[in-house]
């Protein structure tokens, strides 16, 4: 269940000016003011570990004595001090969540790194998180010692027992994660992507038809909404083989549910839940009802997951004529005999120059992960990972397309250079094919430079130590969540010349050769990077190539100048007011 998608749907009580005066104001606010305000918003000033103990005990959730809990909590927030790792002082109630909420995560991360160094310890509520911007350390964690950081270090640490239905690649750990990843990875080879390209192109043509309607009337429009409908259509058609025609029906319930899943901000309730995960037992059903009430009584998570489950069931019933899509590849993998003992780290890593075929690799199988059992997928595996592909492919790709459009209208010379490359690669009547987009080097540079400045998912490049690790004086105990400071790394002046400038040429030729690969990781790095990276890259290139071949995107009075004003929730980064453009036919 998403705990962050409720801020817009909760009425938050306001604290009075008198209350402000009692606790101080201006630049010299007293210590604890923000936590006092948090307490007021939650309807009680006495929100302490003692009170929390009483509430939990009242509903039958037993803890140790409140004194013991208070002592235990104070000890928790000494975690990084005892390890000698610098970082911001945490509140005993919210950790560092209040600062993250008030400043936004990217601003807070940058300030912490500049103040404390490139390895910072902070608390996402009660969850200790090691924030890392040191590329040498990240290379050890994400690549060289990957087997010791194999799990995804989720920032919210639920107190609920793990569900047997948690089978998506994000949720899986250890041996089972490697088994499922090794089965799914071959679905993203060049030949498989080429197989899915025709369906993707048909869907993109529907987007072109929509843009053409606006172009004929010379009216401005918000292009991000069109991209959201298109990317969801692409996932449904190319990955799932299902026709929902969402672009023709922008009020489709699936689109509404997906938008709602990503609509949240750092609500005070999410701060509370991150700080006291035990409250998930209390708030689970009220939160569920709150989100369902905004979506015609159906929880968006349930709606999307139910649709994925129905698609899988129907496909297996009506599978006389195999489809050419990602879902079919997963269904065929149910009877796969991939021997995970022969799968190595580089074969699990999605990369431009890696075809992912299960072949002999230069790297040895990661220590601690060698086992000889063969693996298959069950229906739950397929449904959960179909859900993951749908949700992840919808938001991140549409968001990146919107951000690239923002850059193109602010840098018309760059847009023209992309267009000239496209015309050079294509004959007058030649269709855009998979082979065509491989030639569009400069377009790819524009996409990469946009993702460098605006990584669409900035707080999800995480890992978790599964054993104690020591790097010099730095000790990382087992169970510690580690997060790559992606936004900071992408703008670190020690890695990038003029880091805040939009310069696609930095990804060309000799300039690219001098870059540290860990300094650019919008899809993560190492074996646990985004498995759908190459699918997303193909979709980005196809979409932009089709648009720029027909139209010149032009800024309007409602368009943001660069740098854009950014809105972010705990997962994604997007332009606050959207991207308003006019499409001028060529």
Residues annotated as binding site for heme?
530
207 neighbors 369 (Cβ within 8 angstroms): no
Nearest-Å Rg of the Cα atoms of the chain is 24
Distance in angstroms (rounded) separating the CA atoms of residues 413 and 23: 54
CB burial class (10 A; 0-12, 13-18, 19+) of residue 208? Answer: middle
151 neighbors 534 (Cβ within 8 angstroms): no
Nearest CA among 163, 165, 173, 240 for reference residue 200: 240
Q: What is the DSSP string of 486-548?
A: HHHHHT-TTTSSSTTS--GGGGSHHHHHTS-GGG--TT-SSTTS-TTHHHHHHHHHHHHHHHH
462 forms bridges with which residues in the sheet? 483
377 neighbors 329 (Cβ within 8 angstroms): no
Nearest CA among 405, 409, 440 for reference residue 422: 440
Buried b / exposed e along 359-373 (16+ C-beta atoms within 10 A): eeeeeebbeebeeee
Q: How many CB atoms lie within 10 A of CB 281?
A: 14
Q: What is the DSSP string of 320-346?
A: SS--SSHHHHHHHGGG---BGGG--HH
DSSP state of 296: T
Look up residue 253 and give its two tokens: 């319930």
Read off φ and ψ for residue 133, nearest 5 degrees.
-120, 5
465 neighbors 148 (Cβ within 8 angstroms): yes
Long-range contacts of residues 465-468, Cβ cutoff 8 Å, at least 24 apart: 465/148, 465/149, 466/148, 466/149, 466/150, 466/151, 466/174, 467/148
Which parts are annotated binding residues? 530
Q: What is the DSSP string of 242-294?
A: ----TTT-TT-HHHHHHHHHT-----HHHHHHHH-GGGHHHHHHHHHHHHHHT
Look up residue 378 and give its two tokens: 């069950």
568 forms bridges with which residues in the sheet? 573
């Amino acid at each position: 269940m998403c705990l962050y998608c409720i801020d817009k749907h909760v009425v938050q009580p306001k604290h009075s000016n008198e209350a402000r005066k009692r606790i101080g104001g201006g630049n010299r606010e007293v210590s604890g003011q923000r936590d006092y305000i948090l307490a007021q918003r939650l309807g009680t000033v006495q929100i302490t570990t003692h009170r929390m103990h009483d509430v939990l005990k009242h509903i039958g959730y037993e803890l140790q004595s409140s004194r013991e809990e208070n002592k235990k909590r104070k000890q928790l927030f000494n975690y990084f001090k005892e390890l000698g790792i610098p970082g911001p002082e945490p509140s005993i109630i919210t950790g560092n969540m209040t600062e993250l909420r008030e400043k936004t995560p990217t601003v807070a991360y940058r300030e912490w790194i500049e103040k404390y160094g490139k390895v910072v310890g902070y608390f996402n509520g009660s969850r200790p998180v090691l924030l890392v911007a040191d590329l040498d350390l990240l290379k050890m964690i994400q690549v060289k010692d990957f087997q010791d950081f194999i799990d995804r270090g989720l920032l919210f640490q639920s107190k609920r027992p793990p569900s047997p239905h948690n089978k998506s690649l994000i949720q899986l750990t250890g041996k089972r994660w490697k088994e499922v990843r090794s089965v799914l990875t071959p679905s993203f080879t060049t030949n498989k992507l080429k197989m899915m390209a025709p369906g993707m192109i048909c869907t993109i043509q529907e987007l072109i038809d929509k843009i053409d309607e606006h172009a004929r009337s010379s009216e401005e429009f918000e292009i991000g909404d069109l991209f959201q409908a298109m990317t969801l259509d692409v996932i449904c058609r190319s990955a799932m083989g299902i026709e929902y025609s969402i672009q023709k029906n922008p009020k489709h319930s699936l689109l509404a549910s997906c938008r709602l899943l990503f609509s949240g901000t750092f609500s005070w309730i999410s701060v509370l839940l991150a700080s006291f995960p035990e409250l998930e037992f209390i708030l689970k059903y009220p939160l569920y009802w709150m989100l369902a009430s905004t979506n015609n009584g159906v929880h968006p998570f349930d709606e999307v997951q139910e649709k994925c489950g129905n698609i899988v069931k129907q496909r297996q019933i009506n599978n006389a004529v195999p489809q050419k899509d990602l879902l079919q590849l997963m269904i065929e993998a149910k009877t796969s005999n991939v021997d995970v003992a022969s799968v190595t780290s580089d074969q699990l890593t999605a990369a431009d120059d890696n075809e992912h075929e299960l072949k002999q690799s230069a790297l040895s199988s990661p220590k601690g992960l060698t086992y000889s059992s063969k693996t298959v997928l069950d229906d739950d595996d397929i449904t959960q990972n179909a859900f993951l592909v749908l949700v992840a492919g919808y938001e991140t790709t549409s968001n990146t397309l919107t951000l690239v459009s923002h850059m193109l209208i602010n840098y018309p010379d760059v847009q023209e250079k992309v267009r000239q490359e496209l015309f050079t690669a294509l004959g007058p009547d030649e269709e855009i094919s998979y082979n065509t987009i491989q030639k569009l080097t400069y377009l790819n540079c524009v996409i990469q430079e946009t993702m460098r400045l605006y990584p669409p998912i900035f707080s999800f490049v995480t890992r978790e130590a599964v054993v104690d690790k020591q790097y010099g004086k730095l000790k990382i105990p087992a169970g510690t969540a580690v997060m790559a400071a992606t936004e900071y790394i992408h703008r670190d002046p020690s890695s990038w010349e003029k880091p805040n400038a939009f310069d696609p040429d930095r990804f060309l030729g000799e300039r690219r050769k001098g870059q540290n690969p860990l300094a650019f990781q919008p899809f993560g790095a190492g074996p646990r990077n985004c498995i759908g990276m190459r699918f997303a890259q193909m979709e980005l290139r196809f979409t932009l190539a089709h648009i720029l071949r027909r139209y010149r995107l032009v800024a309007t009075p409602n368009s943001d100048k660069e740098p854009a004003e950014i809105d972010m929730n705990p997962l994604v980064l997007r332009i606050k007011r959207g991207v308003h453009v006019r499409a001028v036919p060529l």
